[in-house]
Amino acid sequence: MRALIASLLAAATLAFIACGGEADDAPLAVDGPCESVETPAPKDVGLDSPPSRPSAKKLTATVETSCGTIEIALDTKESPKTTASFEYLAENGVYDDTAWHRIALAPPVIQGGDPTGGGTGGPGYSIDEPPPAGTAYTKGVVGMAKTEVEPPGRSGSQFFIVTAADAGLPPIYALLGEVTKGSGVVQTISQYGDPTGQTETPLEPVVIHSVTIEEG
């Protein structure tokens, strides 16, 4: 299985560079850029409601994963409630030692943030903040996941990162921000998905070690 993933990563690296990506930000290949990790144990989380405003106007989330570091500029202007909730969850360690539990081809996203690891968990609360009408979920955009029956802009703790040019999603998912560093890491994680699309469960565990929030 690891040999298969390594070959997929190598192909992804060549494709990324051919499309004009910077080599130093391209996915690594060969014997595996990601740590060999175990699937984290489920966590039971039940938090009170979060603050309604973030702590600062400019915030960056640093996501340490078993495949490397991703930095996300949080959109505190358009999504104050969503970013405040994400900051609150990070500060309470909800994201620490959780899995990227979903790697999908349609829509093209990687998804994490479920403390139970099964794709149905959350923090014990939800908030509502519909995104701007013109929101487009393009490569690197980070949004909050919700079920089909939930209203536009509802979110708990689960979030996704778009891995292709356009996810083709309607503007109904709360906007969290955009990846500013580590796009190659995102692409590497995406290669741990099933290339046939038969399952959205990663072929091997990929883990979020921690999420920290800093001003700037």
Q: Per the structure, how many domains does the chain have?
A: 1
**pLDDT tier for residue 1 given thresholds of 50, 70 and 90:** low
> Is 196 inside a domain boundary?
yes
Q: What is the pLDDT of residue 62?
A: 98
> Is 83 inside a domain boundary?
yes
> Is 151 inside a domain boundary?
yes
Residues 167-203: pLDDT tens digits?
A: 999 999 999 999 999 999 999 999 999 999 999 999 9
153 is in which domain, residue-wise?
38-215
Q: Where residue 121 sits, what CATH number does that domain have? A: 2.40.100.10
Residues 111 and 102: beta-carbon distance below 8 Å: yes
**HEC profile of 5-72:** HHHHHHHHHHHHHHCCCCHHHCCCCCCCCCCCCCCCCCCCCCCCCCCCCCCCCCEEEEEEECCEEEEE
Residues 157-168: pLDDT tens digits?
A: 999 999 999 999
Residues 8-62: pLDDT tens digits?
A: 444 343 333 233 333 334 433 333 579 999 999 999 999 999 999 999 999 999 9
What is the value of pTM for the model shown?
A: 0.86
